[in-house]
Structure 1
Amino acid sequence: MQTSNPQQLAEDIVSKIQTDIDPEFVYDYEQSRFVPPAGKTLLIMGQTVERITEYMDHFQNRPIPGGWSAYWGITEFLGIKETHKNETGSSQNHQMLIDNFPNTVIQSAMWMVGKWDVAKKAGNGDFDRVIKKFCAWAKSTNRPIYLRIGYEFDGPHNELDPEEYVRAYRHIVDLMRAKGVENVAFVWHSYASKPYKDHPVSAWYPGDDYVDWVAISVFGHAYGGEDFGPYCDDVLKFAKQHKKPVMIAESNPIHGIDKEQNEVWDQWFVNFFTFAYRKNIKAISFINENWQQTKIPGISEWKDGRLYNNKQVSEAWFKETNKERYLKQSATLYQQLGYVEE
């Protein structure tokens, strides 16, 4: 795979991606907000202050993605208007993304789990004061926000009881609507792997009126080829049944991007992009992270998956994502997403 011409190498390895779209996954969406037009996919990057800053330092002359991802927890209004360093050792700041990147969207992940009765308390209204603060902030941004309520709701690590989750999710959406928030799309994000206590994915569904997007995580999934497994298939079928667009809300080659070897492109990226084309995925969010430097429980074997580790892999990434298919920072981005600025 070695060549003295990185541009030619990028073209060669990008050509391995299969770009045909399965007609089964081309369908009309209902009750959905901020969906890219036909043939377009929204490109999002994340997910911490440190890694986004690093990303911009390394790729100063590359096109800005169409959106950025950030995280916060329903229990406290932290990491929204000011920088907050959390227990994993990384920082969050939604407002930094607003201030630094005009003409982009925010993909905001709201942490809410079943442990410590967090979801139960949320459903009871214990965190309404936090939600109200988020509502006021969201309205002030005057840009599309994709809010993942209780992301990876079916992941065993989150221990979310389906009934408690649905009750909390609906309560949050009802409160945000009562506060007149019009620029938030509500994202229902599945782990897309073996679910908590083997509940069917439908058990966590809050209803068509409460969901704008269906989302999945893609980590180890993409190493096995373009078939991401039965649990992922179930989520995609469910999205089609309910006429919702699908987002890859979190993704990264967790076995790492080696500095010298390019095998990760064939082993993960080709499958990732081929899947996104074939399944007509309407938004993809890539996490640019060195997992070995985080303190996230349960991922001790994950490695350094930052794009700038390998020049040839990053060249191929930009060769693909620079295509017109991918929506990036643009003065026309909001118009393409159907969002009217106030």
Structure 2
Amino acid sequence: MNLTVRQMFIVAIAATSSIFTGAYAQIKTSVDSAYIYPYEKTKYVPPVDKTLLIVGQSLSKINEYRAFTNDNNNPAGWSAYWAVTEFSGFKGPWTTSSGDTQDHHFLVKKFDNMVLHSAMWMVGKWEIAKKTSEGQYDNVIQKYARWAKKTDRPVYLRLGYEFDGPHNELEPREYIKAFRHIVDVIRKEGVENVAFVWHSYASTPYKNYALSEWYPGDDYVDWVAISVFFQPYDDIFNHKETNDVINFAKEKKKPVMIAEANPVNGIDKDDPKVWNGWFVDFFSFCYNKNIKAIAFINENWPRMNISGIGGWKDARLYNNAEVAEKWLIETRKDRYLKQSPELYQELGYRRKK
């Protein structure tokens, strides 16, 4: 069965009444009142009882997702990636070293009434962060700033995503200097439509540095974000590093985004336990902790040339009919903000045009 036919089949299933009510009902939708607090020094936060829905992360998987949903239920935003070292993927498609294609330009030109979830690669290796703070990539950052300003939409920019991940080898002092420098350069260009996102790996940190040692400061951070990959398989509610970040955001009065999420053990078409084994706890956690934005990665990991992800499996939503149906039922709730003429108003963004 080719992909297009399979997608049409799953969409047809999603249109019927649920035959998996028991599994679906296990999502707990109560919100812990401790995580309902006033936000300070931030921007583009969804209203109470609303969550921003974002999908990514490569152009091909975004297009597959659009076909899967019949292009009638676009999320509020798409994810795209770039590197602080080069201005690529903003005038046309850019194929990265991992083999995927990124295209900020296409996402902005093709989709109106949507936000952009933009991830900027910056690591400690090869002195990338050090060179960034010294101004060696200012030309790239300035080009990005001018481009982002012209998009006339909310842009959520993750600077040096997963800053505390051992794979990035970022020393806290270098990271903070680079983060602040990038923000200063973008602000100097008069850009007001970018929200700066501080994205933690939310797992065992590099050299066991304390989370607070990486924090650039309240005036530089609009959102706090985490990655969620393995946590739902093993009691995410009691995962120390994840909760440390959530509680740190609460202390700083910042909204929380799950900036990267995917069931990396795979979504096998014949496995009836996938939904309960990852998604139920994932969504229950999002409700409980009042997560204000979710960015799901719809990806077939074995095809990606990324070091450190050995054993990660094909986790595209439409591989499994039950998962596909449940995802559509959950994300079509009014709770999740999607592409619409009212989206910018809901986020407090006023268009310039």
TM-score greater than 0.5 by the shorter chain: yes
Alignment of 1:7-46 (within 5 A): 7-46=17-56
Structure 1 stretches of 4+ moved >4 Å: none
Q: Distance in 1 between matches of 2:37 and 2:348?
A: 18
Q: CA deviation at 1:10?
A: 4.4
Aligned to 1:333: 343
For 2:5, the equivalent position in structure 1 comes to none
> Does structure 1 residue 143 correspond to structure 2 residue 153?
yes
What do the CA deviations read for 1:58-103 (whole angstroms, capped 9, x no partner)?
2215411000000000000011221010111110001111112111
1:251 corresponds to which of 244, 256, 261: 261
Of 80, 92, 105, 1:82 maps to: 92
In structure 1, distance between residues paired with 2:144 and 2:83: 11
Q: Secondary structure at the match of 2:81?
A: strand
Given candidates 189, 212, 215, the residue that maps to 1:202 is: 212
Secondary structure of 2:118 counterpart:
strand
Q: Take 2:63 and 2:326, find their aligned partners in 1: how far apart are those partners?
A: 21
Question: 2:236–2:242: 8 Å Cα contact kept in structure 1?
Answer: no
1:193 aligns with 2:193: no
Partner SS, residue 72 of structure 1: strand
On the 8 A contact 1:6/1:315 being kept in 2, the answer is no
Per-residue deviation at 1:277? 0.2
Inter-partner Cα distance in structure 2 for 1:153 and 1:82: 28
Between the aligned partners of 1:101 and 1:14, the Cα distance in structure 2 is 31
Q: Is the 8 A contact 1:7 1:315 kept in 2?
A: no
Q: Distance in 2 between matches of 1:53 and 1:8?
A: 26
Return the offset for 1:15: 1.2
Q: Give the % identical residues.
A: 56
Residue 140 of structure 1: CA displacement?
0.8
Q: 1:33 to 1:19 in 2, by over 3 A?
A: same
1:164 equivalent in alignment to 2:174: yes
Contact 2:50 2:336 in 1 (8 A): yes
CA contact (8 A) 2:275 2:322 kept: no
Question: Matched residue pairs, number?
Answer: 340
CA pair 183-190 structure 1, distance change in 2 beyond 3 A: same
* Correspondence 1:272-311 to 2 at 5 A: 272-311=282-321
Matches within 5 A, 1:59-74: 59-74=69-84
**Paired residue for 1:57, among 51, 62, 67?**
67
Amino acid at match of 2:292: K
Q: Do residues 113 (structure 1) and 128 (structure 2) align?
A: no
Query: RMSD value over aligned CA atoms?
Result: 1.4
Q: Could you tell me how far apart the structure 2 residues matched to 1:301 and 1:116 are?
A: 27
TM-score under structure 2 normalisation? 0.94
Q: Name the SS of the counterpart of 2:19 in structure 1.
A: helix
1:20 is paired with a residue whose SS is: coil
Residues 228 and 119 of structure 1, relative CA distance in 2, 3 Å threshold: farther
Q: Determine the structure 2 residue equivalent to 1:214.
A: 224
The 3 A distance-change label for structure 1 pair 310 and 167 is same
Instruction: Name the counterpart of 2:233.
Output: 223
* Structure 1 spans left out of the alignment, 5+ residues: none
Q: TM-score, normalised by structure 1?
A: 0.97
* 1:225, distance to aligned residue in structure 2 (A): 2.7
Once the two structures are TM-superposed, the CA of residue 50 in structure 1 deviates from its matched residue by: 1.1
Gap runs ≥5 in structure 2: 1-12
Please name the residue that 1:322 is paired with: 332
- C-alpha change, 1:61 and 1:98, in structure 2 (3 Å) is closer
- 8 Å contact 1:257–1:305 — kept in the other structure? yes
Q: What SS does the corresponding residue of 1:9 show, helix, strand or coil?
A: coil
CA deviation vs aligned residue, 1:127-163 (integer Å, no higher than 9, x gap):
0000010011101100000000000000000000000
The structure 1 residue matched to 2:276, chosen from 266, 275, 290, is 266
